[in-house]
């Protein structure tokens, strides 16, 4: 039975996992549980849908993790688990690089839960579930905020009193594991241009953009929280802070109601009134669905343009993640707002999902590159666990 490393990515309603042998960048198996808290569904390499037993809307995240661990253990062909790596959304100021998890570190990460209330508690619940299953098993935490630690201080500051800045109210940025992977593989696709002025668009149910120079993060659209920047599946994106004051002072909403509104009821879902899923909106005939897509594209182009002064122009634009990799309509819509930059998409290449989708006359290269956060976590586990 070979020694293997398990990668876990626990979200608010899903758990993705993959098994890697030593030194491998391609998993020997992977799987996921979606719809946690609603109607859970399990799928994995060479597994039956009911392999975890009955999963209901009442099955908590930690039990889902325990069942996955039990199922993997019952199948020795997958290997002997020697370490587990996790995606953790927020590392705050203290954690900019992957770390071996200890009790003290877990306590420190727990204090950051208010900064990412829709993600951090579930990330840490997976770590605790593994500790409960086998306390001696090494666990590695890899942070979505870490990749953005290279940003200049000025790019991370708000126009707030310095005392608040010193307390950590700054722009952190997220989706760092995805950006780290894209930065690693950029030379394969862009050649020498990989070290130029590149904007990567991680477009999924959660969405952001990162402006890179020399394959390092210089600016990003998400800030202190994962609410900032682009319109997302259920999240509002950037908005006038005065709206928050009005919602509470003028409309009498509680903090809990405002939080639910911004994290769960806004974005594509709120604007369309149809769905938070881009595929569903694209198939819908409702005018509100089309308007939600158009707003998504416009805001993405606006946010990209806002970052360009930080890198002095644009040499290449990369689309990644679920929407970025699969929606030709969204890619076309965003690029249409950027033609003033010399961005020109090739319609046929875009429609068929080619890797390079810029036209011959485009001054900016446009690429579609699949991301792989799990491979990044597996690599960090090799570095820390050996």
The strand pairing partners of 220, in sequence order, are 210
Quickly tell me which residue has 């099955």 as its tokens. 59
250 vs 270: CA distance, rounded Å:
20
What count of Cα atoms within 13 Å lies in the side-chain half-sphere of residue 345?
25
The strand pairing partners of 143, in sequence order, are 88
Among the listed residues 144, 166, 228, 315, the single catalytic one is 144
Which tokens in the block code for residue 183? Answer: 């930065």
Count the neighbouring beta carbons within 10 Å of the beta carbon of residue 264: 16
Residues with Cβ within 8 Å of 176's Cβ and at least 6 positions away in sequence, in order, are 143, 144, 145, 146, 147, 148, 217
DSSP 35: -
Based on the residue annotation, tell me whether 144 is a catalytic residue of this protein. Answer: yes
Give the pairing type, strands 207-213 and 216-220: antiparallel
Contact 178, 320 (CB under 8 A): yes
Mind telling me the catalytic residues?
144
């Amino acid at each position: 039975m070979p020694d293997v490393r398990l990668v876990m990515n626990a979200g608010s309603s899903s758990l993705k996992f993959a098994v890697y042998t030593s030194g491998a960048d391609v998993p020997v198996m992977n799987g996921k549980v979606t719809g946690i808290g609603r109607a859970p569904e399990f799928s994995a390499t060479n597994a039956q849908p009911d392999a975890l037993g009955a999963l209901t809307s009442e099955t908590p995240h930690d039990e889902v993790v325990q069942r996955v661990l039990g199922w993997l253990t019952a199948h020795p062909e997958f290997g002997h688990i020697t370490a587990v790596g996790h995606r953790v959304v927020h590392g705050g100021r203290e954690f900019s690089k992957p770390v071996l998890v200890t009790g003290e570190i877990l306590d420190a990460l727990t204090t950051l839960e208010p900064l990412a209330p829709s993600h951090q508690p579930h990330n840490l619940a997976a770590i605790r579930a593994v500790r409960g299953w086998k306390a001696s098993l090494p666990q590695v935490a890899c942070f979505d905020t870490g990749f953005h630690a290279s940003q200049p201080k000025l790019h991370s500051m708000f126009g707030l009193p310095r005392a608040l800045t010193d307390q950590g109210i700054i722009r952190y940025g997220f989706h760092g594991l995805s950006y780290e992977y894209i930065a690693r593989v950029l030379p394969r696709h862009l050649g020498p241009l990989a070290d130029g002025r590149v904007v990567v668009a991680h477009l999924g149910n959660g969405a952001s953009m990162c402006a890179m120079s020399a394959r390092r993060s210089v600016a990003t659209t998400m800030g202190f929280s994962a609410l900032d920047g682009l319109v997302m599946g259920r999240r509002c994106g950037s908005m006038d802070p005065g709206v928050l004051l009005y919602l509470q002072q003028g409309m009498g909403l509680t903090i809990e109601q405002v939080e639910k509104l911004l994290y769960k009821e806004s974005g594509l879902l709120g604007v369309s009134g149809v769905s938070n899923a881009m595929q569903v909106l694209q198939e819908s005939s409702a005018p509100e669905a089309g308007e939600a897509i158009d707003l998504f594209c416009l805001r993405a182009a606006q946010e990209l343009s806002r970052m360009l002064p930080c890198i002095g122009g644009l040499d290449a634009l990369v689309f990644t993640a679920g929407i970025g990799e699969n929606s030709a309509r969204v890619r076309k819509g965003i690029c249409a707002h950027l033609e003033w930059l010399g961005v020109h998409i090739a319609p046929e290449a875009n429609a068929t999902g080619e890797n390079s989708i810029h036209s011959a006359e485009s001054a900016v290269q446009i690429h579609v590159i699949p991301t792989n956060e799990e491979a990044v976590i597996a690599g960090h586990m090799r570095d820390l666990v050996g």
